[in-house]
Amino acid sequence: MMVDIAMKTGMGALLAISVPVGGDGAMWAQWGLAGLVVGYVLWRDWLREKRMSEAIERDHKWVRETLLAALEKTTAALSTSKKDSTRAGNSSADR
């Protein structure tokens, strides 16, 4: 995470530093091409991170829901088991 932020910050800084001050048309064309490449790479990485974040969130949601459902089933089963054992204990004491 920190490495990605550092790389993107470095790319942005290099792009800003490379702006030609008072250059001719060829220099501006080269800078514009580099700007397009860097902009495309940053945009592509942002989209990939967004997709990965959404996929991870979907997976986490599924895990949470699955674990919660399993916990609820286990709790219900233990509650039923405890009631059954309490009834069995009371009926054996009645004899």
The stretch 32-41 carries a mean pLDDT of: 82
Q: How far apart are CA 5 and CA 49, in angstroms?
A: 12
| pLDDT for position 20 | 74
Q: Which two tokens mark 53?
A: 């974040």
pLDDT confidence tier of residue 89, bands split at 50, 70 and 90: low
pLDDT single digits (tens) 47-81 = 999 999 999 999 999 999 999 999 999 999 898 88
